[in-house]
């Protein structure tokens, strides 16, 4: 891969990974409510789920979505419903000590969410379409792309979770935590609007 293309991919990956989106907003809320350590399975689930979808797309998932657009629409609908459910969970969450039923998103749930996450799937399909050339160099290019996206995904998810953990020190009352959770839930709902409009 040429240096100019490599730089373009790195910038694209960083912008898509670090900007607010469902994964990042959920991790900020998780960090604030449960702390970094308990949110690590959530971070790992996003990373493994993203890698799985990336490899699946490399193996022909993009072609499947092109030939069966109804399948993509179904996945998008499932994602939207799941995001509303998560927004409700975040908005109604309380301090962990007081509500033992509250718990962070598990590794499996975070990984499975990546399969129905239209933003993630769109980024992957766009990347494979724009930054790969021919069949001969495809394996090497996919390895480079995957490496870049793994590092940016880990960096972004960790940063957003640490942001949530840091802000938790300010959220020293139940009322402040509740207001933060409702704000995160509203931002998560707002992040659904571009998904619905596409």
List alpha helices for the chain, DSSP H: 3-18, 22-56, 62-67, 69-91, 107-115, 118-130, 138-167, 174-190, 192-197
User: Is the Cβ–Cβ distance between 39 and 31 less than 8 Å?
Assistant: yes
| pLDDT digits 0-9 by tens, 9-19 | 898 888 888 88
pTM of the model: 0.76
| Residue pLDDT, tens place only, 115-174 | 878 778 778 877 877 777 766 777 888 899 999 999 999 999 999 999 999 988 887 778
Kindly report, residue by residue over 38-66, the tens digit of the pLDDT: 999 999 999 999 999 999 888 875 566 66
Q: Count the neighbouring beta carbons within 10 Å of the beta carbon of residue 22.
A: 23
Q: Is 129 exposed, middle or buried (0-12, 13-18, 19+ CB in 10 A)?
A: exposed
């Amino acid at each position: 891969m040429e240096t100019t293309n490599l730089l373009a991919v790195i910038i694209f990956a960083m912008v898509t990974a670090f900007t607010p989106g469902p994964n990042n907003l959920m991790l900020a809320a998780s960090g604030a409510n449960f702390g970094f350590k308990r949110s690590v399975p959530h971070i790992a689930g996003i990373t493994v789920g993203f890698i799985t979808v990336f490899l699946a797309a490399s193996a022909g998932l993009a072609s499947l979505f092109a030939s069966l657009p109804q399948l993509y629409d179904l996945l998008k609908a499932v994602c939207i419903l799941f995001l509303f459910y998560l927004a409700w969970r975040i908005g109604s969450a309380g301090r962990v000590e007081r509500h033992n039923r509250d718990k962070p998103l598990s590794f499996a749930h975070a990984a499975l969410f990546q399969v129905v996450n239209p933003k993630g799937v769109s980024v992957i399909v766009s990347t494979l379409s724009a930054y790969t050339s021919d069949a001969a160099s495809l394996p090497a290019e996919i390895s480079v792309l995957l490496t870049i996206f793994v590092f940016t995904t880990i960096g972004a998810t960790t940063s957003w979770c640490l942001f949530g953990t840091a802000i938790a020190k300010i959220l020293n009352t139940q009322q402040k935590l509740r207001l933060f959770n409702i704000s995160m839930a509203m931002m998560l709902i707002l992040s659904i609007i571009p998904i619905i409009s596409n």
